[in-house]
């Protein structure tokens, strides 16, 4: 137990959370103190039927439902730790450090995908052609090829680092913009999405 406490305190320092706050969260079975934020996070993983059921609950039962959901995701329930929640904390911290601009990084499109799947198998960082709807923009293609074949295309519409998801393949929970090609120009090589 002492080893676990020391690890959590050090982890709390690493992600800039007070250690006492971090230590209470795994015991409660939640990451955030606000139900709105906790639901936004769990919503990344819920099925449509689970979302429908959740919305019928009162506030206390919503907290209990989320706790039960996180507990069910624990890959090793025989340990004190919920390794899935600990991994989410690491991913949230990464997103907040690398994807935050006008809002917390975990709440961005690119942050959501990183939280759901972790580090991509491959990232292509490119620039649009000159014959697009807009001036030249940076975009990224993220590919996952381990737990499934998922491909995501993000574009930095405002050129301030807030990449928006405009194309998704293989992930039924994410959608593509109907005019996503028009943001990339006629010279866009769709084989990059393979």
Residue 126, beta-bridge partner list: 139
- The count of other CB atoms within 10 Å of the CB of residue 127 is 12
64, two tokens = 């209990």
What is the C-alpha to C-alpha distance for residues 194 and 2, in angstroms, rounded to an integer? 48
Residue 125 bridge partners (DSSP): 140
CA 151 to chain centre: 15
Element spanning 24, H or E:
helix 19-28
What's the pLDDT at 185? 82
pLDDT given at position 86: 94
First to last CA, the chain: 47
What pLDDT, on the 0 to 100 scale, is given for residue 132? 63
Distance, in Å, from the CA atom of 188 to the CA atom of 193, rounded to the nearest integer, reads 10
pTM above 0.85, yes or no: no
Q: Which long-range contacts (CB under 8 A, 24 or more apart) does 98-101 make?
A: 99/161, 99/162, 99/163, 101/160, 101/161, 101/162
User: Mean pLDDT in each 10-residue stretch from start to end of the chain (194 residues)?
Assistant: 42 45 53 95 96 96 95 94 94 96 94 97 89 79 92 94 96 95 88 95
Question: What CA–CA distances, in Å, run from 190 to 28, 141, 155, 166, 177?
Answer: 46, 11, 15, 14, 15
């Amino acid at each position: 137990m002492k080893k676990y406490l020391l690890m959590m305190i050090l982890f709390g320092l690493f992600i800039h959370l007070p250690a006492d706050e971090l230590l209470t969260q795994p015991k409660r079975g939640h990451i955030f103190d606000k139900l709105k934020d906790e639901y936004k996070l769990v919503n990344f993983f819920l099925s449509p039927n689970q979302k429908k059921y959740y919305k019928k609950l009162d506030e206390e039962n919503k907290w209990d439902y989320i706790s039960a959901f996180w507990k069910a995701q624990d890959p090793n329930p025989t340990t004190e730790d919920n390794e899935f929640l600990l991994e989410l904390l690491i991913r949230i911290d990464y997103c907040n450090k690398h994807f935050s601009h006008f809002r917390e990084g975990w709440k961005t499109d690119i942050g959501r995908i990183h939280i759901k799947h972790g580090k991509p198998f491959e990232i292509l960082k490119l620039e649009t052609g000159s014959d697009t709807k807009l001036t030249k923009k940076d975009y990224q293609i993220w590919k996952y090829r381990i737990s499934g074949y998922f491909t995501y295309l993000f574009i930095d519409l405002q050129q301030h680092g807030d990449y928006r998801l405009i194309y998704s393949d293989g992930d039924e929970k994410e959608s593509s913009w109907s005019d996503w090609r028009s943001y990339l120009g006629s010279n866009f090589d769709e084989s990059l999405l393979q």
